[in-house]
Amino acid sequence: MAEIGFGNEFSSEDPRCPGSLPEGQNNPQLCPYGLYAEQLSGSAFTCPRPANKRSWLYRILPSVKHKPFAAVPCGNLTENWNEVEPDPNQLRWLPFTIPKSAEKKVDFVAGLQTVCGAGDAKSRDGIGIHVYTCNTSMFNRCFNNSDGDFMIVPQQGEILITTEFGKIMVQPNEIVVIQQGMRFSVDVFGETRGYILEVYGAHFELPDLGPIGANGLANPRDFLCPVAWYEDRKVATGYSVINKYQGKLFACQQDFSPFNVVAWHGNYTPYKYNLKNFMVVNAVAFDHADPSIFTVLTNALKRTAALSSYQRGWLREPW
């Protein structure tokens, strides 16, 4: 993790392939090392420059070189908020049980469970709140969310996230954001659990400081994004790409690792933040200030509807 800043223009290339990042061009007729140029867009390409999110990736094989997607079971992952009747009572959840590795191996994707949410991915407006419980690393498969951004908050156990942009090690007291369309795989080191906030519409952004002034809360320089790393690996037994699209899961097969990006540049990247760097603004005279003074990242969603919560096979109790 060497690139620093929030929403900056970054560029990175794997040191094993010097000069792999084209100079002065995004899509030359012939890329260095015979790589393929692809643009990953996080916004409409006609939107104003300050809101335009995109990165150019230079990879060994095109990302579309795979077999057709087919629907797969979603397990406890959903965005159907009408699955249970509404309940106005205050509720709480017992800690989500992490499966024991001796009983069953469960990776990050298989361990996703939805808690509550609002809106839907089709309208590009709303959120979903999930937990993940897993005990084994993802092997020869990756995840790709076409519905929105994932903010992942580890609660127990550190995770190593391999992305098309490079590797990110994340531990409790840190948060990581994997933005829409980015493929990633999660390695764990024992029993692991955490939370996920999924946003369907706008991307996360730093809140305006307003009367606080120029400094405080989360500083842009404390956000880190990965440096380029690639693997040129054939997978004869098949590599699975799991895609979340309009609330459903689909899978396709290919015979190579998707993490074959040798170089990249742009302002649309995964990133992480260590919460110990958050500068708290406190009210010490009297009363309590609005909790927004503890906001690390915010999201300009239009929806104001209350969250719908529901039970999906775990214990839910009244307070």
Active site residues: 288
Quote the Cα angle for 155-159-165, to 5°: 130
What is d(CA 90, CA 182) in angstroms, rounded to the nearest whole number?
36
What is d(CA 156, CA 16) in angstroms, rounded to the nearest whole number?
34
Report how far apart, in Å, the C-alpha atoms of 266 and of each of 38, 121, 269 are: 12, 26, 8
Q: Quick one: tokens of 217? A: 């809360």
What is d(CA 189, CA 159) in angstroms, rounded to the nearest whole number?
7
What is d(CA 281, CA 65) in angstroms, rounded to the nearest whole number?
50
Quote the Cα angle for 105-75-272, to 5°: 70
| Beta pairing class for 10-13 and 70-72 | unpaired
